[in-house]
Amino acid sequence: MKQAGGADGRGLAAPPSPRYTGAMTPDALKAFARTDAARLGFDAFGVAPGTGDVTAADRLDAFVEAGRHGTMDWLPETAGRRRSARALWPDVRSILVLGMNYGPDEDPLSILERRERGAISVYARHRDYHDVIKGRLKELGQRLLARAGQGEMKVFVDTAPVMEKPLGQMAGLGWQGKHTNLVSRDFGSWLFLGSVFTTLDLLPDAPGRDLCGSCTACQTACPTDAFPQPYQLDARRCLSYLTIETRNPIPRAFRAAMGNRIYGCDDCLAVCPWNKFAVSAREAKLVARQDLKAPALADLLALDETGFRTLFSGSPIKRVGHAKFVSNCLVAAGNSGKAELLPAVLARLADPAPLVRAMAVWALARLSARDALERRADALHNEEDAMVRSEWHVLAQED
């Protein structure tokens, strides 16, 4: 048994275990892994062949060629390895795909009506799922190798150059729906995905069958019309990308449509009829924190760097950084129609981060056009940043 380094350098091989030496059939090994996965808190399990999904590669190329990845340059940069499991690791023979249910315990869209509150998407209302899942994938893989008495493995969740959704479909966990995410018959839209690549031969499961039928609910629900075709997403129009991935200001065309969504978006996921079988997360670390279900925008706008880091310690939100997060909250404040948020917005006009000042200008103009016009000349006199100046200038053109 060799020590295998993961793509992130942290993949592990199990230490030799005298208890588990001896041949096991691929079927018995798979049954062992399935039981172990459930014990470790995974809700869905399947095996894909080591070849991965070869048809997904062409679609990835088409996505990148059309520029739909926006500023996520790491997608084209890693496309060579991402497009096939064997390109990532030539020795892989089987891929265990695991799903962990993060189903919400209430309607995730009801918060959208409460405009003075910030809507945080379901996946970010609790502990960072990468932290929850990665260690368990390693444990699963280690125990499998120990049981087999041979082999190597690497584990992946989200950030590695692996196309997890097509793999999930190949492993029979569900199918890539028209909203492009994997839909499960048992858990609807609410499964996190992770995988264990291994050199062991395990019997693959039958791939998941597309059960979208004539439904178009996700496409209709999208507030920014981000699906140019069913099964295809233009990330540049997706609020998840705009609020999390890009550090540029939210384009003006999408600011009103953003409403109070300050981190990610769940609309296309939440309307899927297959959620009728969904249940709330059983993993305690994936149950929503009370304080992140409907946080007041006034409180979030008042957060300084330290307060931001403390509030979002252990949460994926921490990774977007204070400036991006506050800038998202300012767009939400601008959409709130709540004059009581004006003092918090005015305070951010003097923020050291240009991105924050820029969105404060927009929010101010939305909440009080008169205030904005009164301040414009002075602000332009003192402002040196081109992005912020352009927000004031556009305001002038909109007189």
Residue 165 binding: pick among ligand SF4, ligand B12, none (C-beta 5-8 Å cut-off by kind): ligand B12
Is 158 annotated as catalytic?
A: yes
Residue 301 contacts ligand SF4 per CB under 6 A: no
Q: What is the DSSP string of 299-336?
A: HHHT--HHHHHHHTTTSGGGGG-HHHHHHHHHHHHHHH
Q: Give which of ligand B12, ligand SF4, none residue 164 binds (C-beta under 5 to 8 Å, depending on kind).
A: ligand B12
Task: Specify whether the CB–CB gap between 91 and 45 falls below 8 A.
Answer: no
Nearer to ligand SF4, 239 or 367 (CB): 239
Under rule CB under 6 A, residue 88 binds ligand SF4? no
Q: Cβ 260 to ligand B12, closest distance in Å?
A: 14
CA distances from 227 to 52, 76, 154, 192, 264 (A): 25, 20, 33, 22, 16
CA 58 vs CA 181, 210, 339: distances in Å: 18, 19, 50
Choose the contact partner of 217 out of ligand B12, ligand SF4, none; CB within 5 to 8 A by kind: ligand SF4
Of 176 and 341, nearer to ligand B12 (C-beta) is: 176
CB closer to ligand SF4, 142 vs 260: 260
Q: Which of residues 265-304 bind ligand B12 (CB under 6 A)?
A: 265-266, 268-269
Residue 240 in contact with ligand SF4, rule: CB under 6 A: yes
Q: Give the H/E segment covering residue 387.
A: helix 386-397
Q: Which of residues 167-206 bind ligand B12 (CB under 6 A)?
A: 176, 179-182, 191-193
2-5, Cβ contacts within 8 angstroms, sequence gap of 24 or more: 2/152, 4/152, 4/153, 4/154, 5/154
Q: How many CB atoms lie within 10 A of CB 93?
A: 18
Q: What kind and span of H or E run contains 156?
A: strand 153-156
Interaction between residue 166 and ligand B12 (CB under 6 A): yes
One of 73, 107, 158, 378 is an active-site residue; which one?
158
Q: What sign results for the dihedral spanned by CA atoms 286, 287, 290, 293?
A: positive
Task: By CB under 6 A, tell whether 40 contacts ligand SF4.
Answer: no
Residue 61: CB minimum distance to ligand B12, A = 8
Measured in Å, how far apart are the chain's first and last C-alpha atoms?
72
265 binds ligand SF4 (CB under 6 A): yes
Distance CA 329, CA 21 (A): 56
> What are the residues binding ligand B12 (CB under 6 A)?
56, 59-60, 63, 72, 121, 123, 157-158, 162-166, 176, 179-182, 191-193, 231-233, 235, 238, 240-241, 245, 264-266, 268-269
